Amino acid sequence: MIMHGVGYGMGIWGILIMVLFWGLLIAGIAWLVKTAVVSGGGAGSNGGNAMDILERRFARGEITREEFKQMKKDLQS
């Protein structure tokens, strides 16, 4: 009696499909993490450079005119 497939397990196609599946899954997770970090965090996520941030802080009243002038001078030097 001949037994087909004994000792071969999934075969080469099963292994390739499994590797492809896990590779795509890992790549998808990495892409999601990268997208979340770029769009949701980081120093530039508030929009703008240091001068824009300084101007917004002054406009909101978080810093005084003197602090604004000194920080602006520091940024420009």
43 DSSP assignment: G
The residue ranges of every structural domain in the chain are 48-77
1 or 11, greater pLDDT? 11
Q: Is the pLDDT of residue 41 over 90?
A: no
Residue 2 pLDDT grade (very low, low, confident, very high; cuts 50, 70, 90): low
Whether 54 contacts 73, CB under 8 Å = no
What phi and psi values does residue 13 have, to the nearest 5 degrees? Answer: -70, -40
- Higher-pLDDT residue of 64 and 38 is 64
> Residue 4: its pLDDT value, please?
58
Task: Please write the tens of the pLDDT for every residue from 51-65.
Answer: 999 999 999 999 999
